[in-house]
Structure 1
């Protein structure tokens, strides 16, 4: 009986979920024979760590929100990590109302994916404007790349500056590089030898993980929030490697006449419906297959060649993805705009000419016009 009680109190060192030995398909499963291992990690984290495989274990969205809403009652610094490549898709909507009066440090990860010639001050100013529009009050914005170790000293400095001896809550959507950043914080802040699960797959951290700091306070790593409005959440895992950039994006410039269409693999489509001949600059993963055709042929081409010539997920996999919704966007002459498709990237529109465009993306995916980032 005592053994059972001890087992119930154990939690996974990788994702923080409670350990159980009964059901393989549920979170926290560990075979009885592995209970004595140090550090103790659940079978799911073991598979991610050693084989880069994640079994699908989901947590209810309400649980995420319940966990977030408790932060307002604490005295802490909130570190919100977002992905520069999917900025609007990875912002936690309405975060301000959850955090109460606690200060928010906005850490913008994956800046190593931006083209190398980019002016980082311009990006930082752009982020500040966008965050303000979202209603988020930040004490500071820090650009970094946890993976490439760029700007990380600045993250540590800003946490130290604004923490003021309090706990640190780290929040973010799935796939923003949160666990990589947490691992760096553990390394810099704590003697604790604990490696969190890091993976390309969404939803790796299943419960809040409390990492003790040397001063008696803690870093609290919260689960990644799953937003189905991001392309990364709805495509098959086999396609994530193509969708997510892993090196700096090389912008692709297309000179289009009205009545021309661009396909992004088989997962999105961009129609230049009306306007003068002009250039459109694509910021997407370098491995994404782009196909140009005439608008009048686009429907036929898609019907005949989706999942094959057009690239992207297979025909069978495409059946699992929601059907397309059309978004009609009119860009005013002289405006400096991006057309952003969450999880896929964005299309920068020539500022001198107006344009009428249609964007087709799976139903529910966030598509919007914004001030140009670059």
Structure 2
């Protein structure tokens, strides 16, 4: 299925039905009085966050969504029926914006969350409503109110705890396939990832976090070069970024340090808030480096990159170093979630894990070269 993370739609709630002017006509009832009923309410338009959807492709081909109008009132005190509602199912993480003003109207952040994006018009009053001691035979009625109409922009920002950054062919797809249930396309050429991939990483019973992989970035991505700039928005809701670097590129003329600096610079140009998110350095493909040379290579990379944050050494292909990394990630995400919510609101996935101690973990200690 083609990944679509942006769409425009037109919605219209149903108009209310008109009220009715009618009088009771029965044998031996010469002055039966008014019996015109009210019009029915127009149908609403709802949006529901469906966790089984991960794209807005349905709304790329179906742009107009209109609810049914309410029925008109009738005689014999019969009120019109309400119009049928329309429910639009959208992926979790969808932002609904007014296409004309740019105002953000709603965000679907929780599975099953339901919001009213267009309210149906109320039905008009029939002449039964205007009956009084003074006016015994009213002939007034009111028309139904129009339903809300809107032009909307739908934008999907996937909800993930951890996002992956890196150049094309850095091994991001191999990493997410190694640690999660995601099965992205993996090949020996760049730009194999053409759309974001989400994977659930299981740390223990009922303990997990969600990781997102986007197409690789290249220099100039913030100005539109390559594919990754189209999907950087999907990293804006993450709690942590993993900067994955290929320390053993096939091309000897490629400098991994310069590539890593280019990624950081593109991140800074794109969004200052995204640039300020916690970011860890993950040196990948160490299985391609002789064991006796690894420590020197890592030390030299960190020194030239002037990196002061956590550093992890892994091989996504052989899964070496992946397990300690995901346990440490889980501990960090758990701490972030605990800090932002009260104990009653904490996601059950983030129960404490005893195997990781971030304060005493040597990977989080400043290096001697800093």
Task: Settle same-fold status: TM greater than 0.5.
Answer: no
Per the normalisation by structure 2, the TM-score is 0.28
Q: Which of these two proteins has the greater Rg computed from alpha carbons?
A: 2
> Which structure is higher in helix share?
1
